[in-house]
Amino acid sequence: MTNEVRVGTRELRSRLSECLHRVKAGQTIIVTERGKAIAQISPLKASLEERLQAMVSSGTAEWDGKALQAYRPSAVNKGDRQVSDLVTEGRE
Q: What is the pLDDT of residues 34-58, one digit of tens each?
A: 999 999 999 998 888 888 888 989 9
pLDDT at 60 over 60: yes
Q: Where are the domains of the chain?
A: 1-92
Which one has a higher pLDDT value, 90 or 42?
42
- Nearest CA among 30, 40, 38, 27 for reference residue 1: 27
Residue 7: is its pLDDT beyond 80? yes
Q: What is the pLDDT of residue 2?
A: 59
**Fold category of 1-92 in CATH:** YefM-like fold (3.40.1620)
Bridge pairing between strands 4-8 and 36-41: unpaired
Q: Report the SS3 class of residue 46.
A: coil
Q: How many CB atoms lie within 10 A of CB 7?
A: 19
Q: How far apart are CA 43 and CA 27, in angstroms?
A: 7
Of all residues in the chain, the percent with pLDDT exceeding 90 is 45
pLDDT of 62: 85
The whole-number average pLDDT for the span 57-83 is: 82
Average pLDDT over residues 5-24: 95
**CA–centroid distance for 20 within its chain:** 21
